[in-house]
Amino acid sequence: QVQLVESGGGLVQAGGSLRLSCAASGRTFSNYNMAWFRQAPGKEREIVAAISRFGGSTDYADSVKGRFTISRDNAKNMVYLQMNSLKFEDTAVYYCAASRMGMAAYEYDYWGHGTQVTVSS
């Protein structure tokens, strides 16, 4: 089992940047594919970005391609989400998640508590 703790959220103006971090503890971090999800008020949770166990493969939601970058550091048990050119519609609670299986959205079975990102227009 892995425990996940997010940090780095906050309030930012549209066009600005934020970097989210997720610290993992517990089992071997490189056993897990990792992802960032988000949930905006009144909306369903959606996957934003995913990264494979050793970082060789990444995937992004169309809405963030070219603006967000997911990365990981297995030596530090960390995963990051660099968010640039932020838009009002990026406002949401962002969650870090881990999957023992694949990278599809339904395969994530460990979750952090989330960090709020608010983008002012």
Top-confidence residue, 105 or 119: 119
Write the DSSP assignment of the chain as a string of letters. Answer: -EEEEEE--EEEETT--EEEEEEEEES-GGGSEEEEEEE-TTS--EEEEEE-TTSS-EEE-TTTTTTEEEEEETTTTEEEEEE-S--GGG-EEEEEEEESS-SSGGG--EE---EEEEEE-
**What confidence score (pLDDT) does residue 121 get?**
86
Residue 1 has pLDDT above 90, yes or no: no
